[in-house]
């Protein structure tokens, strides 16, 4: 395609003229044939228009968009690989499809990121550009099967990951789609027989078998994105959400710029598993617990529950069961943890849409408290003679603050009592050595005091959520993301303590919580 803006406009106009007729042939059906399509269907109209303008079969375009995003543009928020919108137009060192789409369409990068119709048009332009570079003529462009190599190139992945990507799209075409986008719009792709022309797409190794887990595929991560060997014994499984597509994530681990990897990645649609790092090696997925854990990534986005399919839960649970047996990992929430529950984690995955109780049932484990050992639906009185996980949490918190509570063994003995009294004196609380609501509130909120409000996330939010649970005596989900429920809890706390009621956590609210008020 020409690159000057003037030439671009002309080229685009001529493409449009040439394609208004042939686009009807492209999918074997008129682009406007679906009966329920009208002005309230912005996504369908965007697919139709982009398909016509760039001569890409409409159903192929929709299948690529569905595979990338489940048709969720995430309001312009980037994926882990810095990709945007329904078509996941990316801007990272290995994939510059966003910049490419801007050059091809004349749209600004900002509009391509935020505007779904522009984003779909950009995706179509990039696909068409790949087709042109592969030398597809008009007749070939009307046959979805001829587009396989162009779809593989659209992934900007190498070797097996590119073939995995294209295979996923062609499976959607073969099986058909009946998708509901966020907002409720339906996008349908009828099922059809497919026979993709795979010439020129290196598929060597695509069916390579995982060395550790026989039913998985093997696509290795870049050697600079993990460390050979481990510094600790494996005693945890960490559950993640990719914030990107399956093949896109696997190719992200192959990207030297990413500095991330995971042992396993699971596909949303059917639970397919690909291994990228050997279990004996340390993948870079969860910071503080990398050396003692196996990381499992689940295709999807934290904010869209559509990705967490039953097929994926079952496949993941089978893998975790296998890992638990191999490494003797207890099937409890202290050992099967979410990324957000790893100490010091700044990520929120897998988030509130992940059904932990269901998952723990599937692995035959015990649902219960998350891996940090600090999160409980309520905090009860702990004093001399108490035992159990909440005593352990008290001991952990006191020890972390330099109050010598002794070994965190879950038994409230004399050392724990005197450490509690020392902590209480430092906070001007009644030094009775018993941990009731005030002492819990003070203990759970200790640490840094960043300003927090709706949209904040991370460990500080979790501390606030736990402290509010103790202070208010009602459960505030400690998911590390500051949503409406957390805001309501903050307001309730502020009004109950005579603070300014704004639903935000600033110095006054932090101060009150840390003083155990
Ligand atoms: Zn994660």
Confidence of residue 16 (pLDDT cuts 50, 70, 90): very low
Ligand 1: centre distance to CA 5 (Å):
41
Ligand 1: centre distance to CA 246 (Å):
14
- The proportion of the chain whose per-residue pLDDT surpasses 70, expressed as a percent, equals 91
Instruction: Mark whether 412 and 481 lie in a shared domain.
Output: yes
CATH number of the domain at 342, please: 3.40.80.10
pLDDT of residue 371: 54
Ligand 1: centre distance to CA 411 (Å):
33
pLDDT for 38 beyond 80: no
Instruction: Mark whether 355 and 393 lie in a shared domain.
Output: no
Instruction: Mark whether 244 and 319 lie in a shared domain.
Output: yes
| Cα–Cα dist 394/405, whole Å | 8
Cβ–Cβ < 8 Å for 279, 221: no
Instruction: Mark whether 78 and 156 lie in a shared domain.
Output: yes
Confidence of residue 199 (pLDDT cuts 50, 70, 90): confident
pLDDT for 141 beyond 60: yes
Taking each continuous run of H as one helix and of E as one strand, the counts in the chain are 18, 12
Instruction: Mark whether 238 and 349 lie in a shared domain.
Output: yes
CATH number of the domain at 444, please: 1.10.101.10
Instruction: Mark whether 239 and 316 lie in a shared domain.
Output: yes
| Domain-embedded: residue 379 | no
| Cα–Cα dist 64/284, whole Å | 28
| DSSP E strand stretches across 181-247 | 186-189, 217-218, 226-227, 236-241
pLDDT of residue 205: 66
Domain ranges, residue 341:
217-362
CATH number of the domain at 117, please: 1.10.530
Instruction: Mark whether 179 and 232 lie in a shared domain.
Output: no
pLDDT of residue 369: 52
| Domain-embedded: residue 201 | no
Q: How many domains does the chain have?
A: 3
Q: Which residues lie below 8 Å from residue 241, measured CB to CB, with a gap of 6+?
A: 297, 298, 300, 301, 302, 307, 339, 349, 350, 351, 354
pLDDT, tens only, 229-254: 999 999 999 999 999 999 999 999 99
Instruction: Mark whether 27 and 141 lie in a shared domain.
Output: yes
Which region among 38-42, 61-65, 178-182 has the lowest average model confidence (pLDDT)? Answer: 38-42
Instruction: Mark whether 141 and 55 lie in a shared domain.
Output: yes
Instruction: Mark whether 508 and 400 lie in a shared domain.
Output: yes
pLDDT of residue 478: 81
The domain boundary residue, chosen from 173, 189, 205:
189
| Domain-embedded: residue 208 | no
Ligand 1: centre distance to CA 56 (Å):
35
Burial of 39 (0-12, 13-18, 19+ CB in 10 A): exposed
Ion ligand 1: protein residues whose beta carbon lies under 5 Å? 240, 339, 347, 349
Instruction: Mark whether 429 and 477 lie in a shared domain.
Output: yes
pLDDT, tens only, 80-95: 889 999 999 999 988 8
Instruction: Mark whether 421 and 315 lie in a shared domain.
Output: no
């Amino acid at each position: 395609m020409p690159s000057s803006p003037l030439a671009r406009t002309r080229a685009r106009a001529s493409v449009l003229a040439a394609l208004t007729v042939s686009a009807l042939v492209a999918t074997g059906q008129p682009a406007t044939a679906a009966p329920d399509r009208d002005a309230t269907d912005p996504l369908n109209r965007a697919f139709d228009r982009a398909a016509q303008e760039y001569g890409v079969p409409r159903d192929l375009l929709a299948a690529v968009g569905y595979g990338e995003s489940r048709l969720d543009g995430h309001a312009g928020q980037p994926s882990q690989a810095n990709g945007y919108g329904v078509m996941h137009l990316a801007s990272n060192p290995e994939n510059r499809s966003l910049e490419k789409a801007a050059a091809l369409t004349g749209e600004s990068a900002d509009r391509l990121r935020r505007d779904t119709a522009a984003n779909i048009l950009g995706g179509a332009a990039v696909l068409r550009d790949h087709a042109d570079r592969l030398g597809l003529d008009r007749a070939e462009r009307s046959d979805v099967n001829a587009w396989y190599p162009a779809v593989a190139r659209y992934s900007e992945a190498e070797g097996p990951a590119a073939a995995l990507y294209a295979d996923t799209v062609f499976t959607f075409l073969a099986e058909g789609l009946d998708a509901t986008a966020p907002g409720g719009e339906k996008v349908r792709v009828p099922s059809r027989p497919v026979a993709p022309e795979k010439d020129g797409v290196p598929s060597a190794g695509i069916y390579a078998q995982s060395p550790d887990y026989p039913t998985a595929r093997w696509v290795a991560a870049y050697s600079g994105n993990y460390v050979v060997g481990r510094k600790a014994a494996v005693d945890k499984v960490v559950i993640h959400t990719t914030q990107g597509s399956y093949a896109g994530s696997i190719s992200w681990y192959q990207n030297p710029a990413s500095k991330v990897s995971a042992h396993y990645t699971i596909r949303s649609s059917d639970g397919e598993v690909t291994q990228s790092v050997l279990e004996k090696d340390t993948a870079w997925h969860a910071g503080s617990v990398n050396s003692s854990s196996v990381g499992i990534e689940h295709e999807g986005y934290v904010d869209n529950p559509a990705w967490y399919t039953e097929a994926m839960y079952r496949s993941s649970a089978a893998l975790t069961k296998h890992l638990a047996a191999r490494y003797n990992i207890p099937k409890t929430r202290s050992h099967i943890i979410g990324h957000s529950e790893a100490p010091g984690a700044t990520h929120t995955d897998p988030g509130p849409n992940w059904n932990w109780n269901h998952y723990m049932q599937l692995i035959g484990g015990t649902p219960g408290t998350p891996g940090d050992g600090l999160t409980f639906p309520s905090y009860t009185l702990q004093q001399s003679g108490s035992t159990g996980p909440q005593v352990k949490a008290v001991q952990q918190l006191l020890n972390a603050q330099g109050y010598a509570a002794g070994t965190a063994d879950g038994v409230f003995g004399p050392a724990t009592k005197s450490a509690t009294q020392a902590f209480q004196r430092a906070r001007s609380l009644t030094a009775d050595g018993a941990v009731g609501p005030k002492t819990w509130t003070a203990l759970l909120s200790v640490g840094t005091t960043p300003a927090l409000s709706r949209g904040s996330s991370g460990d500080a939010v979790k501390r606030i959520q736990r402290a509010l649970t103790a202070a208010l005596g009602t459960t505030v989900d400690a998911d590390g993301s500051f949503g409406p429920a957390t805001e309501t809890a903050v307001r309730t706390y502020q009004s109950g303590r005579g603070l300014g009621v704004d639903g935000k956590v600033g110095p006054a609210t932090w101060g009150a919580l840390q003083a155990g008020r």
